[in-house]
Amino acid sequence: MSSITWKREIMPRKMPVSAGIAAIQWSIRKFEGAKSCSLRKHGVKIVDACLQDGDSSEEFFGPDHCPLCIRFRSSVQFKCDGCPLERARGGVLCYQKGTSKVSPYHAALGLDGAKKNVGPMLRLLREAEKMLCGESRRRRQGD
């Protein structure tokens, strides 16, 4: 098992170019794959935002590998205006602490001394998915 088998199982499709529900679902799948049981199964680990397999390392969890960051992140200001994750958190970005001790993103990757826990990031992604599905349903109904 290796990073190749991890990517084949967890991320069989390329990152979507849209920033809608497909992007959220792709990200949920990626962070489900960041759970310890999945990493152990494939003999890989996450260090910083990189998927590591022995001596090889590939950034896979950074902003350049997130369809939402690619769509909403400003290169001038480190802001993500309109990102569904920001909206689901009431204007707080996924990498900001807000009222928590650690941000969902930092917790998921164990950054800045945080204990690795993908739960907050997965909850945030699912909340954003639920929000977008509701908005889509209301648009179809003409509300």
- The DSSP output letter for 87 is H
Label residue 119 by pLDDT band (50, 70, 90). very high
pLDDT at 140: 77
Q: Is the pTM of the predicted complex or chain greater than 0.75? A: yes
Residue 77 has pLDDT above 70, yes or no: no
Residue 76 has pLDDT above 70, yes or no: no
Query: Whose CA is closest to 24, among 69, 62, 64?
Result: 69
Q: Is the separation of the CB atoms in 128 and 84 below 8 Å? A: yes
The number of angstroms, rounded, from the C-alpha of 91 to the middle of its chain's C-alpha atoms is 17
Helix (H) or strand (E) holding 50: strand 50-53
pLDDT at 100: 86
